[in-house]
Amino acid sequence: MKESVPIFVYGSLLKGFWNYEHYILPYEHRNVPAQIKGELYHLPPGYPGLLAGTNDIRGEIVYFSPQTYEKALAGLDELEDFYGTGDARNEYERIILPARLLDAIEKEERVYVYRYVDELYIKQSGIRLKDGDWRKYMQERQAE
Residues 28, 80, 91, 144: which is the catalytic one? 80
Whole-angstrom Cα distance, residue 41 to residue 128?
Answer: 4
Active site residue 21: no
DSSP states of 38-106: EEEEE-TTS-EEEEEEEEEEEEEEEEE-TTTHHHHHHHHHHHTT--STT-TT-SEEEEEEEEEETTSTT
Please give the angle made by the CA atoms of 96, 102 and 108, to the nearest 5 degrees. Answer: 40
The residues annotated as belonging to the active site are 80
